[in-house]
Structure 1
């Protein structure tokens, strides 16, 4: 009886090691593929990035370090004349939490006029934001604005969904302040790999088309969210 119990424990231990090895291999494989997708498509300098019509600014929790630095990069991009419009995309699934409205207000404080900003209130995930830029806002050739690790994953998704994307890297956090996010990013890349290749996941919501141009109905209506 005791021998069978020990044998069972040994088999479970070996199975656990095998599963851990498979998971580690999947994490490594996903990370390599996501990184390779963005080769020659990431820019650290506003002056070096090619001009395009629209920049997609990916959301973050309002006021945190990632949010502030993405706003700084997006504002610099617009002020340099590299884009005509900024599409701010983030989470607004709860009444008291509105990333796009907070992003709009922060950009306006940086001198970007409201007429240059469109809001996507259903950017619940990076995939949602990227694919909705094409399917809702009609933009399949964009600049993405976020930190480098996030831009790599966004470009990977864009390529798998037929979107021509380059990216401007906002300033990142140091290891001490960003280590938890970097840990989560490893598994976010696994999800991106599965979503793009096996599941072919689509955004949670699509909705009416919005044309981004000077004559369009404004994508960030007055009085919305945190205004």
Structure 2
């Protein structure tokens, strides 16, 4: 009896595992398919937009070493600005503690790369990708903008924008190798499931909106 129970349990567990894997991969592929025509990786090909939205991430990894995801996003944003593909940059990220400030870190890095301060606007309430995208529209008054991050992140951000009826395109910053960026890419698998649940079932609101901060036209 016990062996029979174990066999049934094992089969059930295996079926549940396969189902979960198929669900996660299906959600991942669906988001890719829905956003495949709205992101670019060549500066010469991307249309010019008034504003670029840089999605935040930590400047350093947990071991204290520089975060390549951060570095590549900054490099991409600076290149777009210098190529006149965007006129202003909104730096959107987490500011959860006085010792952790993603927008401020991004600003310092962009200033060091020659982007002038008057071209930079700060969004300290970009606590998640959804908040960054929606706040760009509702707080900064932008209906059209370019999202700047790695391709996998851009795809999710573009899907959010599409569901919120925002005319967004994206520029794909250089990605990080599979093993070096394994944790980030692994988390993204489940973030795709969450974004579909959020957009189609939960319909969340940004954590903070507040006073409108319009970009000069």
Decide: shared fold, TM above 0.5.
Answer: yes
Q: Which structure is larger by alpha-carbon Rg, 1 or 2?
A: 1
**Shift of residue 10, structure 1, vs aligned partner:** 3.3
Equivalence for 1:84: 87
Q: Say whether 1:37 aligns with 2:34.
A: yes
Q: Say whether 1:101 aligns with 2:98.
A: no
User: Matched residue pairs, number?
Assistant: 211
Matches within 5 A, 1:134-145: 134-145=137-148
Matches within 5 A, 1:75-224: 75-213=78-216
**Shift of residue 26, structure 1, vs aligned partner:** 1.4
For 1:53, what is the secondary structure of its paired residue? strand
Distance in 1 of aligned mates of 2:14 and 2:204: 30
**Deviation per residue, 1:173-192 (Å, 9 max, x gap):** 12221222211111111111
Distance in 2 of aligned mates of 1:26 and 1:117: 40
Unaligned runs of 5+ in 1: 215-227
The range that moved more, 186-195 or 9-18, is 9-18
**Deviation per residue, 1:90-134 (Å, 9 max, x gap):** 110112100001101111111111110001111111111111111
**Shift of residue 85, structure 1, vs aligned partner:** 0.4
**Shift of residue 19, structure 1, vs aligned partner:** 2.1
Instruction: Tell me the TM-score normalized by structure 2.
Output: 0.92
